[in-house]
Amino acid sequence: MKRIVNDLVKSMKAKGLTIALAESVTCGLASHQLNIVKGTSEILIGSVVCYNEKVKTGILGISPALVKNFTAESQEVTEALAKNLNKIFAADIYVAITGLAAPGGSETKSKPVGTIFFSIFFRQKIYSFKKRFYGSPLEIKRKACRELYQAILERIKNSS
């Protein structure tokens, strides 16, 4: 994990980029793990743990109808979270992550436990995807964080 985080922080510093996160399923783990390497203070603006639906709708301004229609753990809500982070933070990259690491949420046959939704809002473009991970809830969250860092790094490297 330290290697990918180090690569991400170095790349962001080299390009003068900053980041803000909206974390639901990871409950702050993604922003915490960014802090395992030197230089994070130069790139990390802030993070909102939006595990509770009231934080998504109240603080981040997500429409309750959007949550009702698609569930709090959905690509639609994750994209809206990433786009709405600029209401709280001034950063270059806005990232949101939601999903299901354990039973008891909005899991279905087509959205089983382990399904994680990612959205990266960078240079006025949204890049969203979902992936399924296996393991304990903590393993799922760690794998999701690694996938998130890799996706951000790819976006940075592919930008001009």
Bridge-based pairing of strands 93-99 and 19-23 is parallel
Distance CA 79, CA 21 (A): 12
Instruction: Find the CATH number of the domain harbouring 111.
Output: 3.90.950.20
Average pLDDT, whole number, for the chain? 94
Helix axes 2-15 and 137-158, enclosed angle (nearest 10):
30
Give me the phi and psi of 77, to 5 degrees please. Answer: -70, -40
pLDDT of res. 104: 82
Q: How many domains does the chain have?
A: 1
pTM, whole model, 2 decimals? 0.94
| pLDDT one-digit tens code per residue, 50-59 | 999 999 999 9
In the chain, how many H helices and how many E strands? 6, 5
Residue 160 has pLDDT above 70, yes or no: no
pLDDT of res. 99: 96
- Which residues constitute the domain of residue 24? 2-158
